[in-house]
Structure 1
Amino acid sequence: MTATTRLAALGRAELTLLVRNRMALFTALLMPALMIGSIRAATDRVGLDGTGMNVAEAAVTGGVGMVLLLVVYLNLVSAYVGRREELVLKRLRTGEASDREILAGTALPATCLALVQCVLLVAAAVTLLGVRAPERPELLVGGLLAGIALCVGLAVVTSGATRTVESAQLTTMPLFLVSALGSGLFVPVEVFPETMASVCELLPLSGVMTLVRAGWLGGGDGGELLKAALTTLGWAAVSVLAARRWFRWEPRT
């Protein structure tokens, strides 16, 4: 059995479990759309002068970040914890699949779903809301893929500090709130005071959002994009190191 076959089998099994979990399915399918409405209401109350975007553009690009957080990060923390506590991860390690394949296979349905939702979001925004088409699609795709990889890594790390599936609602809340409020999801970082904006630009998802907005709406000079890419890569490296140190394959005692 090849690595691709093993990944596909793990992904199908995880997709079956996702479909059976109504709460996880609701979070993955409906919550992003509801949060985009909240983002639009928030940006409507904030002056966007000088940001280079209107309310609709700020809302839909922030919606990409919400898809990453809700569909990838939140869902995967619960998935990794649930499979660990049910001894699924422990049993899988006795088979042919490597550790990386097990983690990637578990993440496969959520990452594919996030990609599909982002494609639909872009299409709906352009055709129904009059938002301009992506000016640099390669940068948008690169930022999206980097964000997915980063959220998977952060989910692996967070699961190590989470005892039960129920407690995942608490352990995921800090990163969710910090990213939603400080990484430009609800309101662009450009509207913050300069000192606060400089700090917020160093948050885990801030670099991803900079790349996504520059890819979709244009703007952003080379130095700004390089800083965003390095910030994203730095957090990805930290998440990998932390995952190796703190991820648990067996139930917490």
Structure 2
Amino acid sequence: MSTAVAHLTALSRVELSLFARSKTNLFNVLVIPVLITMGTTTFMDQYDLAGAGLAMGQVMISTSAGIVLVMALYAPLTGVYVLRREDHLLKRLRTGEVNDTVILASPAVPMVVVAVLQFALIAAAVTVIAGLGAPAAPHLALLGILLGALLTTAVAALTTAVARTAESAQGVSTMGFLFLLLTSGTLIPMGVLPDIFGDVLGYFPLTPAISLVQSGWTGEDAGLGSTLIRVATIVAWTALATWGVRRWFRWEPRD
């Protein structure tokens, strides 16, 4: 086992232990996304889903993907990064043998695992309740949720650049998750929007990931060309966010 992997494994275990000790974290990450996903069915009924060729169950699965990625990963991870910075933990870790990538990845690993498992459980429950049957292209759903997790992790780290304290991180991340939810097809299915809006929003950061998840269940737009375009869009946004992290991420408390 390489040194970097050993460091990542050890730090991730510590982060998982800290996460599991907080009842507030467990409730916010495990319960609230489920409740919000259930609550979205109320206003989803207002859309002409049938006219757009969509079924409620399929929409709820892609909606749950966005909610989990944003509310169970992006928002809490932003707060964790800021807290670790304010506690001088990030600065202390940098004085040792641990490289920057491992330091930033270690808080994200347990949250990504929890988010992916949570999405899988919600998707399985919705599939059974709605009688959807097996997904048409499960590999696309898996690809979407994993790439989406990578993107939201990078965006969470970037968001901390404008958050001075843990308290301000809550406000900043709230604006961030509202932007991600409203522009990704999570709360407003792309199929019910005019084509021009759907085409433009298709190139927003989280939209391709949600679209891949939806294609995984519906089988639509599952061709190689369409998939590559969406993957390339996610990778481009992730690379841009990563560049921003390298340039603006702060390792010490802000004055």
- The two structures have a TM-score, normalised by structure 1, of 0.94
For residues 140 and 41 of structure 1, the distance between their equivalents in structure 2, rounded to whole angstroms, comes to: 24
Partner of 1:4: 5
Matches within 5 A, 1:63-74: 63-74=64-75
Partner of 2:249: 247
Is the aligned partner of 1:54 residue 2:50? no
Aligned partners of 1:59 and 1:186 also within 8 Å:
no
Aligned partners of 1:39 and 1:187 also within 8 Å:
no
Q: % of aligned pairs identical?
A: 38
Unaligned runs of 5+ residues in structure 2 are: none
Matches within 5 A, 1:1-253: 2-220=3-221, 221-253=223-255
When structure 1 is superposed on structure 2, of 131-140 and 242-251 the one drifting more is 131-140
Alpha-carbon deviations, 1:47-79, whole Å to 9, x = none? 113433211221122101111101110111000
For residues 227 and 172 of structure 1, the distance between their equivalents in structure 2, rounded to whole angstroms, comes to: 28
For residues 175 and 91 of structure 1, the distance between their equivalents in structure 2, rounded to whole angstroms, comes to: 28
Aligned to 2:167, what secondary structure does the other structure show?
coil
Q: How far did residue 222 of structure 1 move? A: 4.4
Alpha-carbon deviations, 1:169-206, whole Å to 9, x = none? 21112331122222111121111122222222121110
Alpha-carbon deviations, 1:148-167, whole Å to 9, x = none? 10010000100121111111
Q: RMSD of the TM alignment (CA)?
A: 1.6
For residues 182 and 79 of structure 2, the distance between their equivalents in structure 1, rounded to whole angstroms, comes to: 23
Aligned partners of 2:83 and 2:166 also within 8 Å:
yes
Aligned to 2:47, what secondary structure does the other structure show?
coil
For residues 75 and 48 of structure 1, the distance between their equivalents in structure 2, rounded to whole angstroms, comes to: 32
For residues 199 and 178 of structure 1, the distance between their equivalents in structure 2, rounded to whole angstroms, comes to: 15
When structure 1 is superposed on structure 2, of 222-231 and 24-33 the one drifting more is 222-231
Aligned partners of 1:40 and 1:56 also within 8 Å:
no
For residues 118 and 130 of structure 1, the distance between their equivalents in structure 2, rounded to whole angstroms, comes to: 17
For residues 30 and 64 of structure 1, the distance between their equivalents in structure 2, rounded to whole angstroms, comes to: 14
For 1:252, the aligned partner's letter is R
The structure-2 alpha-carbon separation of the partners of 1:57 and 1:176, relative to structure 1 and needing over 3 Å to count, comes to same
Aligned partners of 1:132 and 1:217 also within 8 Å:
no
Unaligned runs of 5+ residues in structure 1 are: none
- The two structures have a TM-score, normalised by structure 2, of 0.93
For 2:35, the aligned partner's letter is L
Aligned to 1:132, what secondary structure does the other structure show?
coil
Q: How far did residue 36 of structure 1 move? A: 0.7
For residues 93 and 59 of structure 2, the distance between their equivalents in structure 1, rounded to whole angstroms, comes to: 42
Count of residue correspondences: 253
When structure 1 is superposed on structure 2, of 106-115 and 79-88 the one drifting more is 106-115
